[in-house]
Amino acid sequence: MPSFARRLIGLLLILTTVGVTAWQTLAVSCSSPVAAGGIPASASGSAP
């Protein structure tokens, strides 16, 4: 495999695995329904 193609595939793999995992983890952390103290938001009394 030519060196350029090998590096391009490697770059794509790193971006799609490390990049996606990192941003997805951040998104999951931000949108998690659990509030501070480990109490789910639905059980904290704000929801009916």
Partner 1 sequence: MIRLWLVLATLVAVAALILGVRANLRASRRSRRDAAPRWLQAVLLWLLPLPVLIATTVAMARGLLVPLLGNGLGYGLYLAGAWLIWRGLGAERVEPGRPRIRADWPLKTLGGGLIGLATGITAWLGSGHHPAIAAAFALMAWLGCWLFHGGDRRSNAGMHWLGRRDPSSRARSALVAAEQRIEAIEQASRQIAQPDLRDRLDRIGLLAREILILLEEDPGELPRARRVLGIYLEGVQRVVDRYATTHQRAALGPLDERFRQVLEQIETVFREQRDRLVRRDVMDLDVEIEVLTNQLKREGLI
Give the footprint of partner 1 on this chain (CB under 8 A). 3-4, 6-32, 34-38
Q: Report, in this order, helix, strand and coil percent for the chain, each rounded to 5.
A: 65, 5, 30
Q: Minimum Å distance from CB 33 to partner 1?
A: 10
Q: Minimum Å distance from CB 6 to partner 1?
A: 5
Q: Minimum Å distance from CB 15 to partner 1?
A: 5
Provide the greatest CA pair distance for the chain.
62
Looking at the Cβ atoms of 11 and 43, the one nearer to partner 1 is: 11
For the record, the structure tokens of 23 come out as 């941003």
Amino acid making up residue 29: S
